[in-house]
């Protein structure tokens, strides 16, 4: 029996023209990850849009988008250089700057087709080309397998919520 073969979505580097898609995907990610009030997400959309525009413009972040054959953007992810403490782990980290992957999202019907994996790969390549030898991310435990399969291993980064 012949199976209908849908062409694989094409992954490309996003430009500032794609900001609205990137903000929408980021919001959709948070809607999956938690029960956040929509007013807070509305505010976050505006803040994230400015935050991302500044970083992409400055060349310290890159976003990758997967377009379906219809041209519809169906997945995206972002890599951004973050400033941590200077570390001796490798020469590129002596200044404490580390590429960090954020905002991973794939539309429901397009999941489990390897699209997020391809976006992660593009983020890693972007980082490697800039001389970095380590990439970090904050994984949701439910999807940790995605990152493990892409070669990430667990660290013991910890956090504590502070109550007023
Ligand atoms: C997480 C997400 C980005 C994965 O996108 P995707 O395009 O489906 O990922 P891939 O197809 O590249 O997945 C590759 C592998 O990762 C693992 N994986 C992906 N999604 C998973 C999930 N929801 N649960 C468990 N394992 C998952 C699987 O091992 C999968 O391989 P398989 O399909 O052969 O079993 C997508 O499910 C999503 O947008 N979820 C909601 C937002 C979110 O959780 N973002 C990540 C926050 S850290």
Q: In what order do the strands lie in the sheet with 61-67?
A: 10-13, 61-67, 73-83, 97-106, 136-137
Q: How far is the CA of 143 from the centre of ligand 1 (A)?
A: 6
Q: How far is the CA of 56 from the centre of ligand 1 (A)?
A: 25
Angle at 29 between CA 25 and CA 32, to 5 degrees: 140
Q: Which of 6, 8, 24, 111 gets mutated to test ligand 1 (max ligand atoms within 8 A of its CB)?
A: 111
Report residue 2's pLDDT band, with 50, 70 and 90 as the boundaries: very low
Q: Is the pLDDT of residue 132 over 50?
A: yes
Domain ranges of the chain: 12-149
Supply the pTM of this predicted model.
Answer: 0.95
Report residue 5's pLDDT band, with 50, 70 and 90 as the boundaries: low
* Closest-lying ligand 1 atom to the alpha carbon of residue 29: 42
Instruction: Give CA–CA dist 23/50, Å, rounded.
Output: 10
Which backbone phi and psi does 112 adopt, to 5 degrees? Answer: 60, 35
Q: Is the pLDDT of residue 9 over 80?
A: yes
Q: Is-contact 14 65, C-beta < 8 A?
A: yes
Q: Per-residue b/e over 13-36, b at no fewer than 16 CB within 10 Å?
A: ebeeebbebbbebbbbbbeeeeee
Q: Which of 64, 145, 152, 154 gets mutated to test ligand 1 (max ligand atoms within 8 A of its CB)?
A: 145
CATH architecture of 12-149: 3-Layer(aba) Sandwich (3.40)
Q: What is the pLDDT of residues 23-82, one digit of tens each?
A: 999 999 999 999 999 999 999 999 999 999 999 999 999 999 999 999 999 999 999 999
Q: How far is the CA of 111 from the centre of ligand 1 (A)?
A: 7
């Amino acid at each position: 029996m012949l199976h209908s073969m849908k062409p694989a979505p094409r992954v490309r580097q996003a430009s500032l023209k794609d900001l609205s898609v990137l903000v929408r995907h980021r919001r959709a990610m948070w809607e999956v990850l938690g029960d956040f009030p929509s007013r807070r997400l509305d505010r976050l959309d505006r803040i994230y849009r400015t935050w991302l525009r500044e970083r992409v413009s400055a060349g310290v972040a890159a976003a990758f988008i997967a377009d379906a054959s219809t041209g519809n953007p169906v997945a995206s992810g972002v890599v951004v250089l973050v400033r941590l403490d200077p570390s001796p782990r490798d020469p590129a980290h002596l200044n404490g700057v580390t590429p960090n992957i954020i905002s991973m999202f794939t539309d429901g019907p397009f999941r489990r087709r390897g699209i997020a994996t391809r976006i992660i790969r593009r983020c890693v390549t972007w980082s490697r080309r800039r001389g970095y030898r380590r990439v970090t991310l904050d994984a949701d435990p439910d999807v940790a397998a995605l990152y493990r399969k892409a070669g990430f291993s667990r660290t013991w980064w910890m956090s504590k919520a502070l109550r007023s």
